[in-house]
Structure 1
Amino acid sequence: MELRHRALEVLCFSDPEQKAAATIDLHAQHALYPIADQSPVLTLPESELPGRPARPELKHHTAVARRSPATPEGRAVLIHAIAHIEFNAINLALDAIWRFDGMPEKYYHDWLQVAAEEAKHFRLLRDHLREHHGRDYGDYPAHQGLWTMCEKTAGDIVARMALVPRTLEARGLDATPQIQSKLRNTGAPDALAAVAILDIILREEVGHVAIGNHWYRWLCEKHGLDPEPLYLELTARYEAPRLRPPFNEHARRAAGFTAAEIAWLQQI
């Protein structure tokens, strides 16, 4: 089977463990798969993408309750929310593989690496929920904000690279240290175990955002576009969420943001 066709198949899986396992397996075996020049034919409506389980119940982000990590239940809700982000991130990476034609082979392998690492993150968080809280993925409501931007940018790979990895996912670089600080302050063993998982996620998410930055700039160079003013135009056109401080400047620099981009962030 061809790699992009298989990525679409895995994207359609609704069972979270099946999707995570198949994604990791596809990455491990990627050298055995040819890469087609044309996108595979989608045989189901776009509205049915991605495959997702019956639970969690999906609500508007303003309707999803937040709870303090000072309590065990609050920490379970927090970890569940992050697990949901990671599950969506698997879908985002798989979608970037099957949907967009004409990219170099490395592009598809880069996003397959991202998908496999997101699957690993999801499993770590799900196992944590089960072990430390007696809960599972799906036990709390969640929102679908990440996938909404995926839908908006389905016809524009430049916008996809600008607004998913280097905007929405980059927000995680900023938020994770703050979450870790709150968890550490509780001193609870389950909270400290969660901090260790978030260390892994933060380190690898820097690489994911760097991949998005690389391919955004590669596309801009290919089409004769200036990446910095174009980014501002795309955020307005696609109504990307407004970024708010504090910003993790160290992580953003490591992920390939320029000094000018970071300075612009500080001014918004």
Structure 2
Amino acid sequence: MKNLHTAAYHCLTEQNLEQKLLLATKLNDDLLAGNLAIKAIDLPPVELAGRPEKPQLVHPREVAKRKLGTDKGKAAAIHSFCHIEFNAINLACDAVYRFQDMPEQYYGDWSKVAAEEAYHFSLLQERLQELDYSYGDFPAHNGLWELAQKTAGDVLDRMALIPRVMEARGLDVTPMIQKKFRNVGDQKTVDILDIILRDEISHVQAGSRWFLYVCQQRGLDDPEQTYLELVKKYMKGDVHCPMHFQARLDAGFSESELEQLMLLCGRH
């Protein structure tokens, strides 16, 4: 029987875009079908996730922001969402590949996330192609994967920072982005973002669930304070507002956590 962590490793390191999408979906399908053994195994370290030659990676400040009044402007924005979803596939696979001493349900959650991120990517890629563009046509940045590298040594840090900071930020900004697309009459993109927002709430919820699990396992009696300390450590207190309170509550944040995060927002 094939090994789950090996399958996740192959998806993570795959450079061909279409093959990566297939492997992400297959990872979840095979796990659900009972075709993958969940057993720790020695695998080569992964410093860089597999990716196609394009897009060109630049500093976040160099990623141009375009208005949505033209097809090129819309495509540039959709491309940025595509890139987030592409990275999210790698991050979900990395969560399965890297942390090999977690309960079975943890792997079920993150394999499902990998498949859903691949689905999101496909929806966005199809929309890009309708505008006569494709993934790789615009520059992008590597901030998500860089944060993954920084949290590679500890599943607690990973669950706190990737789902509960970076993906949670997506919950905050998606309604505002949808409003902009609605204002230019692009209901098709709005509908795609509806699907993504719905699924991303469950992804952040998975991060919350496993963050709390690890806190409990380690005897950390104040998970909220632990989370805030990790945000300050890795993000230097750089918390963005406004927040989508209801989406964050649905995703496993407590009201007191959100109040503390709002105080960090107030420092800017």
Q: 2:181 aligned with 1:178, yes or no?
A: no
Residue 205 of structure 1: how far off its partner (Å): 0.1
2:223 matches 1:227:
yes
Whether the 8 Å CA contact 1:100–1:157 is kept in 2: the answer is yes
Q: Aligned residue for 2:167?
A: 169
Partner of 1:76: 75
- Mapped partners of 2:239, 2:157: distance in 1: 16
1:267 shift after superposition: 2.1
Question: Contact 1:58–1:144 at 8 Å: present in 2 too?
Answer: yes
In the alignment, the residues of structure 2 paired with residue 9 and residue 98 of structure 1 have an alpha-carbon distance, to the nearest angstrom, of 9
Q: Which residue of 2 aligns with 1:214?
A: 209
Q: CA deviation at 1:40?
A: 3.4
Equivalent residue runs for 1:7-86 within 5 Å: 7-30=8-31, 31-36=34-39, 38-42=40-44, 46-47=46-47, 49-86=48-85
Q: Does 1:246 align with 2:242?
A: yes
| Structure 1 residues 44-103: Cα deviation after superposition (integer angstroms, max 9, x where no partner) | x633x2001000000010111110112221110000000000000000000000101211
Mapped partners of 1:98, 1:46: distance in 2: 10
2: distance between equivalents of 1:40 and 1:68? 48
1:186 partner amino acid: V
Counterpart CA distance in 1 for 2:112 and 2:42 is: 20
Structure 2 Cα separation of the partners of residues 231 and 211 of structure 1: 15
CA contact (8 A) 1:166 1:213 kept: yes
The 1:229–1:241 alpha-carbon spacing in structure 2 relative to 1, beyond 3 Å, is closer
Distance 1:119 1:241, change over 3 A: farther
Task: Tell me, in whole angstroms, the C-alpha distance in 1 between the residues paired with 2:102 and 2:46.
Answer: 22
* Candidates 223, 229, 236, aligned match of 2:232: 236
| Contact 2:5 2:100 (8 Å CA) reproduced | no
Cα contact 1:39–1:100 (8 A) shared by 2: no
Task: Return the alpha-carbon distance in structure 2 between the equivalents of residues 240 and 3 of structure 1.
Answer: 35
1:39/1:99 contact within 8 Å kept: no
**TM-score normalised over the length of structure 2:** 0.94
Cα distance, 1:130–1:240 mapped onto 2, change above 3 Å:
farther
Amino acid at match of 1:198: L
Q: Distance between the aligned counterparts of 1:39 and 1:10, measured in 2? A: 16
SS of the residue corresponding to residue 238 of structure 2 reads coil
Aligned ranges 1:118-137 → 2 under 5 Å: 118-131=117-130, 133-137=131-135
Q: Secondary structure at the match of 2:213?
A: helix
Q: Structure 1 vs Structure 2: percent identity of aligned residues?
A: 47
1:56 counterpart letter in structure 2: P
CA distance in 2, matches of 1:128, 1:157: 34
**Unpaired segments ≥5 residues, structure 1:** none
Change (3 A) 1:195 1:149: same
Q: Which residue is 2:7 aligned to?
A: 6
Q: Aligned AA for 1:86?
A: E
- Among candidates 136, 147, 150, match of residue 149 of structure 1: 147
Please point out which of 194, 197, 206 is paired with 1:199.
194
Under a length normalisation based on structure 1, what TM-score does the superposition of the two structures give? Answer: 0.94
